[in-house]
Amino acid sequence: MNSPPSAPVLRFAPSPNGLLHLGHAYSALYTWAAADRLGGVALLRIEDIDTERCKPEFVDAIFRDLHWLGLDWPEPVMQQSDRFGIYAEAASRLRDNGLLYPCFCSRSEIAAAATGTDPDGAPLYPGTCRHMSNAERIERLERGDPVQFRLDSEAAILRAGMLTYTVVGPTVTDRPQVRYARPERWGDVVLQRKDMPTSYHLSVVVDDADQGITHVTRGRDMEAATDIHVLLQMLLGLPSPIYHFHRLLLDDQGHKLSKSRGSKSLADLRADGWTPEEVRRAAGI
Ligand code: GLU
């Protein structure tokens, strides 16, 4: 017997390392509107693996701002800082398959040896530690040298073969299109950072699968990262959602809104007397 098609599940996944601004409001409102159009549900996920930069008061502010915008979500809210053990388990599956290796390079060594840049403009790691002997690896791990674990991208790509993913657009109900993933342009990405047993890429694919996400809606600036996400989905045996990339809100100089460029927070706008309706209008939703 065929199981009935499951209802669409979307998500909004902010990081509580600051206050939400109009760009976040756009992405959140967009995601809830897309869930409505698809007859599905939108979940909230708090992406707080970076326990140094993420703060509980910013989590509270996310709840407050989204409720103020009139958005609601099913409880409990997934919070990544509760799930480090789950990410570590996914990483050890990759390690057991010979796809992760320890890297002891410092940031300056990586910058000096970089062979180019990745799609985000970060130095492309030349794979120095990929060639380290097992004996040296063990010695350095036992010595307690600071270590991060990287994906052996050549081995991983060989294992995964040619990868595609599905994109819908310009609207979320449009016809699906197939895109080719190009994970080689990212090189040996870090999957377990020095200070934590995971990374953005690893956590996001594990969580999207665990939450049964069918449609990932996110800004166009994150489209290139899909290369890594579909590779990890294939290696970990996880389903690949449908992707949809929305436009970005830009400031007067054409830059993406961001706190570091002085974009006003939703809390500031509220204090200035803005209503949720005005936020919706400013975001064009
Ligand atoms: N947590 C990420 C951010 O706040 C977004 C995650 C995602 O859409 O995968 O930028």
Separation of CA 13 and ligand 1 centre (Å) = 5
Separation of CA 140 and ligand 1 centre (Å) = 33
225 lines ligand 1 (CB under 6 A): no
Query: Which atom of ligand 1 is least distant from the CA of 12?
Result: 8
pLDDT at residue number 29:
97
pLDDT at residue number 3:
56
* Coil vs helix vs strand at 206: helix
Residue to mutate, 204, 213, 229, ligand 1, most ligand atoms under 8 Å from C-beta: 204
47 lines ligand 1 (CB under 6 A): yes
pLDDT at residue number 31:
98
User: Atom 4 in ligand 1: which residue has the minimum CA distance?
Assistant: 14
Residue 81 is classified by DSSP as G
Q: What is the pLDDT along the chain (285 residues), one digit of tens a residue?
A: 455 567 999 999 999 999 999 999 999 999 999 999 999 999 999 999 999 999 999 999 999 999 999 999 999 999 999 999 999 999 999 999 999 999 999 999 999 999 899 999 999 999 999 999 999 999 999 999 999 999 999 999 999 999 999 999 999 999 999 999 999 999 999 999 998 999 999 999 999 999 999 999 999 999 999 999 999 999 999 999 999 999 999 988 888 888 778 889 999 999 999 999 999 999 888
Separation of CA 21 and ligand 1 centre (Å) = 14
257 lines ligand 1 (CB under 6 A): no
Q: How far is CA 106 from the centre of its chain?
A: 24
Do 80 and 207 contact (CB within 8 A), yes or no?
A: yes
Query: Which atom of ligand 1 is least distant from the CA of 15?
Result: 4
DSSP state letters, 125-192: P--GGGG--HHHHHHHHHHT---EEEE-HHHHHHHH-S-EEEEE-SSTTSPEEEEE--GGGG-S-EEE
User: Atom 8 in ligand 1: which residue has the minimum CA distance?
Assistant: 218
pLDDT at residue number 5:
63
80 lines ligand 1 (CB under 6 A): no
Report all structural domains of the chain as residue ranges with CATH numbers, in order of start.
Answer: 1-82+249-285 (3.40.50.620), 83-215+225-240 (3.40.50.620)
Separation of CA 136 and ligand 1 centre (Å) = 36
Q: Tell me the longest C-alpha to C-alpha distance in the chain.
A: 64
Residue to mutate, 208, 222, 233, 257, ligand 1, most ligand atoms under 8 Å from C-beta: 222
Residues 6+ apart with CB under 8 A from 221: 248, 256
218 lines ligand 1 (CB under 6 A): yes
